Chain A
Amino acid sequence: MVIAVASGKGGTGKTTVAVNLARVLGDVQFLDCDVEEPNAHLFLKPDLAERIPARVMVPEIIEEKCTYCGKCAEVCAFNAIAVIPPRGGLKGGVLVFPNLCHSCGGCFLLCPEGAIREVPREIGVVETGRAGAIRFAHGRLHVGEAMSPPLIRQVKKHVDRTRTTLVDAPPGTSCPVINSLEGSDYCLLVTEPTPFGLNDLVLAVEVLRVMGIPHGLVINRCDIGDDGVESYAKASGIPVLMRIPFDREIAERYSRGLIAVDGSGEYAEKFRALYEAIRNRYEADRGHQRQRRHG
């Protein structure tokens, strides 16, 4: 089962929930897909023994073959190529803007002269390793790079269908989140009971509905704020699987990179119960789907 942990709003406690779950479960695959700002390693402290460069393919012009016909610039939907035609006695030129390139291969495949080759460009790294029984992988986007989805997809290649996989997703609701959630069996949405938390929760739920991923809530700092999130969950039929009260001691432990369940048997019990609740929901949901198919 692939369980994603997402939120819409940042800083609600996604990573906290994901690392605590990983710790109580032990034998899991953990994928930190927040490649812009990966944090889970600060808590799980994996050995990160392997470091794999993450590359995308970008065009390189073979000057001798190029006739400056402009086809590549015309087919590029992302304005990543500009062609300056030869004029007067001046030679033409082709400018490639690799950071705008989406690696679709269009220019390379459609160049009538075969004057483009694809060359790898590093946009980040995937690091993998172990933290006890936990198999860990995350991506780190190089600072200054714009596009995280190709790197997220490379982290997602480490999904292991033979064991439980936990995916720590980035905040927001756009492409990086969708690439992280794709293929998940269940999504935990971590939120806080404030107007900000609610606003972004509603957006995240809409994304999950479009993607058809079953989901439940964890309400963090459940005693600070109002009852907007609870009312919304009730009205929309979204189960609340866990409520975590604000605890200054936990906040201070977090600030030091410590995991709540490591210092407290009570929290360990709660996170084990959370996993059971997800499992039950997931099984029940699959049961419904089977019934619908056969009924």
Chain B
Amino acid sequence: MKQIVVISGKGGTGKTIFTASLASLAENKVMVDCDVDAANLHLLLSPRVVETHEFRSGATAWINPDTCIACGECAEMCRFEAIRGADDHYVVDPLACEGCGLCARICPVEVVEMRENLCGQWYLSDTAYGPFVHAKLGIARENSGKLVACIRQKAKELAETRRLDYVIIDGPPGIGCPVLASLTDTDLAVIVTEPTLSGIHDARRVMELARHFRIPAGIVINKWDINPERSREIEAFCALEGVSLLGRIPFSKRVAESLIRAVPYVETAGDDVAAAIRAAWDKIDSKPAGEARRPS
């Protein structure tokens, strides 16, 4: 079983549209949406939710206003400036609280409670393309990295019990905590980029990240014909970096328009865009298992 993650660094380069097409093209797999704070893959896979689970993680401080003696010690010690004085008691700003619990430990009258956070929900669903694990982070909640780790674990277990060939992961943008959680322990990182200055800048940073974790990487250049010269630049430095070129997808207005039909792009069209996505998947699928781990 191989785990493949689709990432990009920069947002909006076409990760999810590409990943949804893999759901249609790959056989014997489980799909996972790890962009838990702005999930979109469900919009193209039309999941029927089979199981819903609560995701609890971390805690938020709460000060009992009736028993607080307003000594202010907690506010002074809090490194996150999450506690402010009100009239005759102190109040925690739940958005600023990181849940370290220091205030609860030092309060001389023990009136701070640490309340467990309900951070979101995760789902196991059925789709026309097989099982799908996805999640929804609660509004303004944290611990997205832990939620990612949680759904990846579920997907992996599912792949093992059902003897699936692939876990295909739609990753979040950026290079921070949820991206690290999406990337770790995968067999291949597919980096979807676009030939713009910012696309290249950000792709270089995720490539560096993949190398840091010793994950082999391949690149898909989306909308390559917006700037063919830049696309060639990307290909050149990928060759230099040992990142394989998996495909070049041309720009088409039809791609954005196809989102309304709520199915993977390759299911709706047989044009050059769909052909390029198919070709990229064939390359990913034909990668021998031995190539999975690059020697360190």
Residue ranges of A at the interface with B (Cβ–Cβ < 8 Å): 8-12, 15, 34, 36-37, 39, 42-43, 75, 77-78, 102-106, 109-110, 141, 143-148, 170-178, 182, 192, 194-196, 199-200, 203, 206-207, 210-211, 221, 224-226, 246, 248, 251-252, 254-257
Contacts and interface: CB of A to CB of B under 8 A. Distances in A.
B227 A255 contact: yes
A77 B11 contact: no
A141 B179 CA distance: 13
Contact of B79 (A103, A110, A146): A103
A104 B106 CA distance: 13
Contact of A36 (B16, B38, B43, B176): B176
A39 B95 contact: no
Contacts of A226: 260
Given A170-B173, A246-B253, 5 more contacts: A102-B98, A105-B102, A144-B212, A174-B37, A207-B140
B176 A141 contact: yes
B247 interface: no
Interface of B: 9-13, 16, 35, 37-40, 43, 58-59, 77, 79-80, 95-96, 98-102, 105-106, 137, 139-142, 144-145, 172-180, 194-199, 201-202, 205, 208-209, 212-213, 226-227, 230, 253, 256-257, 259-260, 262
A11 B172 contact: no
Contacts, number: 190
A8 B194 CA distance: 20
A240 to B, nearest CB: 19
A143 B140 contact: no
Contacts of B194: 255
Given A146-B180, A200-B38, A195 B43 contact: yes
A147 B176 contact: yes
Contacts of A36: 9, 173-176, 179, 205
Contact of B100 (A42, A77, A171, A254): A77
A77 B59 contact: yes
B138 to A, nearest CB: 9
A226 B257 CA distance: 8
10 contacts: A11-B12, A37-B173, A39-B10, A172-B35, A174-B144, A175-B144, A248-B226, A255-B194, A255-B227, A255-B230
Contacts of A34: 174
Contacts of B256: 192, 194, 221, 224-225
A39 B47 CA distance: 35
Contacts of A147: 176-177
B205 A143 contact: yes
B95 to A, nearest CB: 6
Contacts of B137: 173-174
A213 B37 CA distance: 19
* Residue in A104, A105, A210, A248 with the greatest tally of chain B CB atoms within 10 Å: A104
